[in-house]
Structure 1
Amino acid sequence: MKERVVLRHVKRVNGEEIDIVIEDGTITEITGAGQARGELEWEGPSLYVSSGWIDMHVHAFPEFDPYGDEIDEIGVKQGVTTIVDAGSCGADRIGDLVANGKRAETNLLAFLNISRIGLKRVDELSQLDWIDRDRVITAQADYRDSIVGLKARISQSVVRENGVTPLRIARELSLETGLPLMVHIGSAPPDIREVIPLLQRKDIVTHYLNGKANNLFGASGEPLPVLTDAIARGVHLDVGHGTASFSFRVAEAAMQHGINPDTISTDIYRGNRLNGPVYSMANVLSKFLYLGYSLEEVIAAVTTRAAQWLGREELGRIQVGDPANLTLFAVKEEPTALIDSEGERRVSNRRIEAKGVIIHGKFIKCEVQP
């Protein structure tokens, strides 16, 4: 983008129409709609613009199966300019993941799996000797610009007979490194009432809207005391939709009780991108529009609030002097079928469709997503 590029008549999520001027990849001017001029003018009267979407939970290491994918397939091609890999790699392969990120158009950050093998196996915390404290600390030092936290998957299929012991070790590693935890929750044992009290301020509980028996809501939809206590002490709620971790029924109960997501993430990888029920970030965001969240709330969950948690405020704003980091999207008024992780189908009258991103001085058109 060497020219003076003008995005004309694009809308902020509050409906305000603006022009954005970009020169050499940097935002140089933001004006009222129709006021700016440039060598290359792009009219977008039906399009919204936000800072680049941030997906706080993806699996972007393509060598691992089933939980892996190509960075740009789940990044810029879906309107997402920054992805945060959620523990695909431990100390054994984190260097390879970071190297892959340097070759991609999408910005990549990562949670380091406390198990050195990462998702090479799906029971990576079944053997405690795979948690190598020294290697965790070394990896943090070597890749401090990329690692934003530690990941521990605390469900029965992952920990096997170890219960909450891996999480207690993760808590110690968090204190040693100063890195917060992202904790995956799922089937028991361990019981969710053993897991959540170990989380502290800024730790993330991901999959908090899952519909499994071991979830965070009671039989009549009320939040468990361990959840309300965690929210009170500053634990962060992340969606992490995934193949098995988002329920319309639970999400509706949560919303009714005012338990709203801090961030909306996909837990996307090759299988649930191609075959559903995730498909894309836009598809997941559309589910929250369907639930009744406003467009402003939905987009904030993948821009400003995600950027604030990351401590990288510049990723969540549109401001003169910043590199252009933008997502362009439409809101289509048409019937759209949406499916949750339980196989429940709902029909929404609106859907979000990603159109393109501007990142690293380039415009990249998004691929059409379900």
Structure 2
Amino acid sequence: MKGLVRGGIFLERQLVLQNLKFVNEEEGDIVLREGKISHVTAPGKGQGEKVIDLTGHYVSSGWIDLHVHAFPEFDPYGDQIDEIGVKQGVTTIVDAGSCGADRIADLLADGERNETNLLAFLNISRIGLERVDELSRLEWIDHDKVMQAIQQYADKIVGLKARISSSVVGESGIEPLHIARQLSSETSLPLMVHIGSAPPKIEEVLALLKKGDVLTHYLNGKSNNLFYENGEPLPEFLDAIQRGIHLDVGHGTASFSFNVAEAAKRHHIGLHTISTDIYRGNRINGPVFSMAHILSKFLYLGYTLEEVIASVTSHAADWLKRPELGRIQVGDTANLTIFTVEGGSIELIDSQGEKRTGEKKINAKGVVIRDEFIKC
């Protein structure tokens, strides 16, 4: 048994989570036995040794954050796994390339010491985010080490990460992405590609993406973004969407713009997955703070609760090819997030410093993961 975190209750007997609301507004009780979903019944009808009345609370399958930085040794892009996982209502996090082949074993070993489920993208640079210009020297992309790491940790590595923006690649330009594309072909693993300031130009990046690849930071407001100044999407972006790329928010400190997000919504682009790109600095000081805070921004943008929650449950689980993580089904190991949606003014700030005022906020209240109920 892993170490018990704040508020944990071991589920050794039958537990009833009573009077919950599902995101479709239906109500019911979820009965758990020995860490598995025993059955779902009408509200107030569940029976068991322990009953927790959760009137006024929503439940979904456990939230999944497809883009985090969870290797605490690296600065600035690092944090403690459970701080950005179960303590925020997130049961599964996917580290987005914090580590390359040199340190991936350390990251995954740390995952075993925490409650949160941890998966990872492998940075194609063996040094990972030990430096923030990790693709500026092509010799740091070690083909053999990449292959060895993927073979050794095939159950945890879900893809390859390449950060393709000027501060990362330096004079290497677009070449790291060509190498990443070849590594993807050899391993049959998709790419997650970070976009940001040019060079390379965004059109060069888009041309190399294939079906199933993740384009993260797609709502960024930098000059090298995916929309013209009038809010129209670039034709190359629309072509890439037609090819089947996966769009991931990756909010972060510098990669989310309300104006761009509104343009995307007007053009019916997304919503595939909402992720935080969270690490210690933007968790404590903003503008990220938490997954729930980011989800509240998308309620403000006019997405329904079902659309917002799907983006951190079923959509993410389907991309990961782990559909069981995105559903509530009898017989499955318990994997649930419990949250509220509350009225009241909430200040929301994007990565450009633009402020908006929302009228609803999502608050994570707890998770059920494996055989524990953990309060947030």
Tell me the TM-score normalized by structure 1.
0.98
- Alpha-carbon distance in 1 for matches of 2:217, 2:159: 17
> Do the aligned partners of 2:36 and 2:370 also contact (CA within 8 Å) in 1?
no
For residue 343 of structure 2, the aligned residue among 320, 333, 337 is 333
The equivalent residue for 1:53 is: 63
AA in 2 matched with 1:325? N
- Which of residues 368, 372, 376 is equivalent to 1:358? 368
Percent identical among aligned pairs is: 68
Q: Deviations over 1:176-226 (max 9, x none)?
A: 011000000000000001101100000000000000000000110011011
Contact 1:105–1:360 (CA under 8 A) maintained in structure 2: no
Displaced runs of 4 or more, over 2 A: none
- Give the match's secondary structure for 1:286: helix
Provide the alpha-carbon RMSD of the alignment: 0.5
Structure 2: segments with no counterpart, 5+ residues: 1-10
Question: Would the aligned equivalents of 2:16 and 2:29 in 1 still touch at CA under 8 Å?
Answer: yes
Partner Cα separation in structure 2 for residue 239 and residue 259 of structure 1: 12
Secondary structure at 1:349's aligned position in 2? strand
Provide the residue aligned with 1:162 in structure 2.
Answer: 172
* Offset of residue 36 of structure 1: 1.1
Mapping 1:136-285, distance limit 5 Å? 136-285=146-295
Correspondence 1:91 to 2:98 = no
Q: Is the 8 A contact 1:58 1:267 kept in 2?
A: yes
Amino acid paired to 2:362:
I
CA–CA separation in structure 2 for the residues paired with 1:259 and 1:218: 14
The question of whether the paired residues in 1 share the 8 Å contact of 2:15 and 2:50 is answered with yes
Alignment partner of 1:25 out of 29, 35, 55: 35
- Alpha-carbon distance in structure 2 between the residues aligned to 1:201 and 1:103: 34
Letter in 2 for 1:269: Y
Residues 238-258 of structure 1: CA distance to partner in whole angstroms, max 9, x if unpaired?
Answer: 000000000001000110111
Q: Is the 8 A contact 2:271 2:307 kept in 1?
A: no
3-state SS, counterpart of residue 82 of structure 2: coil
Q: Does 1:322 align with 2:332?
A: yes
Are 1:118 and 1:124, in contact at CA under 8 Å, matched by a contact in 2?
A: yes
Helix, strand or coil: the match of 1:194?
helix
Deviation digits for residues 239-293 of structure 1 (CA, Å, limit 9, x no counterpart): 0000000000100011011112210000000000000000000000000000000
> Cα offset for 1:162?
1.1
> 1:144 is matched by which residue type in structure 2?
A
Counterpart of 1:358 in 2: which secondary structure?
strand
Contact 2:98 2:128 in 1 (8 A): yes
Q: Which amino acid aligns with 2:194?
A: H
Alpha-carbon separation, structure 1, partners of 2:167 and 2:53? 51
Aligned equivalent of 2:47, options 37, 46, 62: 37
CA distance in 1, matches of 2:373, 2:100: 33
Q: Which residue of the other structure, out of 105, 109, 125, is the alignment partner of 1:115?
A: 125
TM-score when scaled to structure 2?
0.97
- What is the one-letter code of the residue matched to 1:149? G
| Per-residue CA distance 1:76-123 (angstroms, 9 max, x = gap) | 000000000000000000000000001110000000000000000000
Contact 1:19 1:36 survives alignment (8 Å): yes
Instruction: Please report how far the alpha carbon of residue 32 of structure 1 lies from its aligned counterpart in structure 2 after TM superposition.
Output: 1.3
Secondary structure of the corresponding residue to residue 335 of structure 1: strand
Would the aligned equivalents of 1:78 and 1:354 in 2 still touch at CA under 8 Å?
Answer: yes
Please give the alpha-carbon distance, in whole angstroms, between the structure 2 residues aligned to 1:243 and 1:253: 20
Code of the aligned partner of 2:334: A
- 1:66 and 2:76 aligned: yes
Q: 1:36 & 1:68 partners in 2: Cα distance?
A: 42
